[in-house]
Structure 1
């Protein structure tokens, strides 16, 4: 399928969300409720479904997960070195870390489904089972320096994360070969099918282009880093580990995704530079529509 055509429904859903929000077609209460419903129920169910019933080929996915871990670790360590060298304030440093290592799962799963079908969805699901806890830990650590957070507090906040719970329960079901009764299984499939379109519409509603006027150099640096530099690093790591073409493409696509909309929530929670974070999310999401087709053309 042509990459532009595959992106079209995603772009339209995001655009619909942006228009609905800006025209007040739907109230602010709706968006708060929709985001809460998707974050607490629909998306965890989707992650559970994608992990509970797939064939976990751990022997074949080990190299992919190793590459994923290495790329995230190198990116995070590079940012920590830059912080020490440039004396970056914590309020902005947490924004930089999230903008480079977090990923928009709604866009990612939609692209995997459209471009690579069930095989891509399964590999992506296994990748995010590792990535979601890892990037959340690193993001919290980036903000928590000097705030006196105890390791137990960080662990407890991660355990409560519904996305992590959805992944963990799905993996347990898979490993123990458990199953739901048919009625509940069908209900979960219906709930899961609602998650991605609603999530993409909420992504559009969360875009704040007015914040693009804030600090051009930092916005551009974070966008170029995420959409061009990190995918290039991913390609080099895949080449070094001798991954096959499909695994390489999936990993590069993973690291070419814009940062997660939820990064804004974590930034506000830790009193970070939320205006900069909002601008980064918006600019990365906007530029992704241009950089991703180019990236896929280079990989083909």
Structure 2
């Protein structure tokens, strides 16, 4: 347990530092949105491209990891769809926008935390395995989230944008593009070009600290006071049920060692901060989404080490 806590503690301390910097107004509020934009569109994609382009995937259970993460996400979405019929009644008492936020909270992972944890615990090999998880989950999670929000929510202010406009953020997502580019460079035997490769690696090194600080700055503990059971259901589903489903499935498919630990850890991540942006854009309950993100991030400081311990494979 010691190595796990030693590797994860700096990650969550960076998140706390980001929250403290914003709460103390050490940096102006205007700083955080451009910083998050820089991380999301430039730094983080650079890390994904550089990790995937040179990843040695021989002997790794790539197909099994793809299957369990894709299947786990779809199972959670399916369970949520069944729950939707009773969401308006006791005990949740959720309207459609509120349920759409719970829906997102059941499966969207905070990839910043995942890559930082993998790098701290397993080094480059863990980073490359986690990049595989990103390549599967990020496109699917974005697509399923948009479909759910469009199904349950009426856009604010009338008819709103059409399907093309709603799906365009999925098709142009910088993380998805980075994953496809990195995989293409890898499968094509090209790797990273001489000058561009080192540049991407330098940019990628800045992505994790900046991303974690931005995650902390976006936390809003005040939203937890009135959110109640919906936050509990989403957090329990994301931090307990999803990693259980993914972990058992991976074990049954023969995934072991570091690959199993990475697979379970990625499923056990807190909810992605950009879920809030999507909820706000497509008519979801943004305040409830913020509460789910905050609660899952705080609780993951305890649950993520526990899942890693159960999964084994930690040096």
What TM-score, normalized to structure 1?
A: 0.93
Report what 2:251 is aligned to: 239
Note the 1:52-201 alignment, pairs <5 A.
52-57=53-58, 60-87=61-88, 89-145=95-151, 147=154, 151-201=163-213
Count of aligned positions: 300
Kindly tell me: are residues 92 and 124 of structure 1, through their superposed partners in 2, closer, same or farther at Cα, counting changes over 3 Å?
Answer: same
Report what 2:91 is aligned to: none
Match status 1:8 vs 2:14? no
Give the root-mean-square deviation of aligned CA atoms. Answer: 1.9
Residue 178 of structure 1 aligns to a residue in which SS?
A: coil
Kindly tell me: are residues 180 and 256 of structure 1, through their superposed partners in 2, closer, same or farther at Cα, counting changes over 3 Å?
Answer: closer
Report what 1:274 is aligned to: 286
Contact kept? 2:264, 2:311, Cα under 8 Å: no
Note the 1:257-296 alignment, pairs <5 A.
257-296=269-308
More helix as a share of residues: 1
Distance in 2 (alpha carbons) for counterparts of 1:171 and 1:114 = 23
Contact kept? 1:51, 1:171, Cα under 8 Å: yes
Contact kept? 1:90, 1:142, Cα under 8 Å: no
Q: CA deviation at 1:116?
A: 1.5
Residue 195 of structure 2 aligns to a residue in which SS?
A: helix
Point out the more displaced range, 72-81 or 53-62. 53-62
Q: CA deviation at 1:55?
A: 2.3
Structure 2 alignment gaps of length 5 or more:
89-93
Q: CA deviation at 1:151?
A: 4.9
Residue 39 of structure 1 aligns to a residue in which SS?
A: helix
Point out the more displaced range, 67-76 or 83-92. 83-92
Contact kept? 1:137, 1:154, Cα under 8 Å: no
Q: CA deviation at 1:62?
A: 0.7
Distance in 2 (alpha carbons) for counterparts of 1:141 and 1:90 = 14
Structure 1 alignment gaps of length 5 or more:
none
Distance in 1 (alpha carbons) for counterparts of 2:259 and 2:41 = 30
Distance in 2 (alpha carbons) for counterparts of 1:197 and 1:48 = 18
Show CA shifts across 1:119-167 (max 9, x none): 2111111121111110000000110116576554444322211111111
Distance in 2 (alpha carbons) for counterparts of 1:191 and 1:181 = 15
Structure 2 counterpart of 1:203, from 215, 232, 252: 215
Show CA shifts across 1:151-193 (max 9, x none): 5444432221111111111112112222454232222111110
Distance in 1 (alpha carbons) for counterparts of 2:273 and 2:227 = 19
Report what 1:226 is aligned to: 238
Point out the more displaced range, 84-93 or 182-191. 84-93
Q: CA deviation at 1:262?
A: 0.7
Q: CA deviation at 1:295?
A: 2.4
Residue 85 of structure 2 aligns to a residue in which SS?
A: helix
